[in-house]
Amino acid sequence: MDITASQIESIVRSVISSMGGATPSAKAAGPIPTTAHVAMLTGPKKIEIQELPIPPLGDDDILVRVEGAGVCGTDVHEWKMDPFGLIPVILGHEGTGEVVAVGKNVKTDTAGKPLGVGDKIVTSVLSCGDCYACRMVPGRTNLCDNQGVFGLIGDKRGTAEGNRVNGWFADYMVIKGGFGVTYFQVNELDLKQRMILELACVCVHALERGQKTGLLNFGSKVLVQGCGPVGLVMITVLRAAGINHIIAVDGNEDRLKVAQKMGAKTTICFRRPDEDTLDKRVAKIKAIANNVGVDFAYQCTGAPVAAADIYSYIRRGGGMCEMGFFVNNGEYQINPHVAMCNKEIDIVGSWDYSAEDYPKTVAFLKQCRELNIPIEDLITHSFPLDKMNEAMETNVAQKGIKICYINE
pLDDT at 25: 59
Weakest-pLDDT range from 12-26, 31-45, 64-78, 316-330: 12-26
Q: What is the mean pLDDT of the chain?
A: 88
Query: What is the pLDDT confidence band of residue 165, given thresholds at 50, 70 and 90?
Result: low
Average pLDDT over residues 259-268: 97
Residue-wise pLDDT for 334-360, tens only, equals: 888 888 899 999 999 999 898 899 999
Rg (CA), the chain: 23
* 168 shares a domain with 251: no
Domain assignment of residue 126, given as a range: 19-188+375-406
In a domain, 215, yes or no: yes
In a domain, 276, yes or no: yes
Q: How many domains does the chain have?
A: 2
Q: Give the H or E element holding residue 28.
A: strand 27-28
Spell out a b/e string for 77-108, using b for 16 or more CB atoms within 10 Å of the CB, else e.
bbbeebeeeeeebbbbbbbbbebbbbbeebee
Expressed in angstroms, the distance from the first to the final Cα of the chain is 53
Do residues 389 and 396 make contact, with C-beta atoms less than 8 angstroms apart?
no
What are the backbone angles phi and psi of residue 392, rounded to the nearest 5°?
A: -65, -45
Average pLDDT over residues 280-297: 97
Weakest-pLDDT range from 141-145, 187-191, 195-199, 244-248: 141-145
In the chain, pLDDT over 90 holds for what percent of residues?
68
Report the C-alpha gap between 60 and 102 in whole angstroms.
7
Cβ-based neighbours of 397, under 8 Å, separated by 6 or more: none
In a domain, 12, yes or no: no
* 221 shares a domain with 141: no
The distance between the two most distant Cα atoms of the chain, rounded to a whole number of Å, is 90
Residue-wise pLDDT for 304-316, tens only, equals: 888 899 999 999 9
Do residues 97 and 185 make contact, with C-beta atoms less than 8 angstroms apart?
no
Report the C-alpha gap between 315 and 382 in whole angstroms.
41
* 163 shares a domain with 286: no
pLDDT at 128: 84
pLDDT at 154: 53
Query: What is the pLDDT confidence band of residue 155, given thresholds at 50, 70 and 90?
Result: low
* 182 shares a domain with 209: no
What angle is formed at CA 170 by the lines to CA 195 and CA 51, rounded to 5 degrees? Answer: 180
* 169 shares a domain with 35: yes
pLDDT at 2 over 70: no
